[in-house]
Amino acid sequence: MARVSPDAMYQLHQLIRQKYALDVDIWRLRNVGRLDRDEVREKMERSDDMYKEILERVTSWDENPNNWREHEWAMAQEIRRRIERPGKRWWKENPPWSDD
């Protein structure tokens, strides 16, 4: 496992922002009619895929604190802790509508 570069951290930050924006859009569309749900389902799938990618990135980080600067290690641990915290929504298993 390699040390995480500043560019990799920035890319992770951007991916998290994109997923959040997509989640907000999905929630905004939660009341669409059944015939219009295919577009929302595509967004749900993209959001779930993004979350998988985010999880893969943070779980691949080198866990040897000697390979990190002290402040980077603390930040990486906090990011990973927040990403892995329970309560994240997987859209496929938990769509925004209740009648599906």
The pLDDT of residue 2 is above 80 = no
Instruction: Check pLDDT > 90 for residue 20.
Output: yes
Question: Alpha helix (H) ranges present in 1-100?
Answer: 6-28, 37-60, 70-84
- Report whether 26 contacts 44 (CB < 8 A): yes
User: pTM, whole model, 2 decimals?
Assistant: 0.85
Residue 99 has pLDDT above 80, yes or no: no
Using the Cα atoms of residue 12, residue 19, residue 78 and residue 89 in order, give the sign of their dihedral.
negative
28-86 tens-digit pLDDT: 999 999 999 999 999 999 999 999 999 998 888 877 677 778 888 888 889 989 999 99
- For the segment 23-31, the average pLDDT, to the nearest whole number, is 96
User: Rounded distance, CA 9 to CA 33, Å?
Assistant: 39
Give the Å distances, CA to CA, from 55 to 2, 12, 13, 34, 79.
16, 10, 13, 31, 11
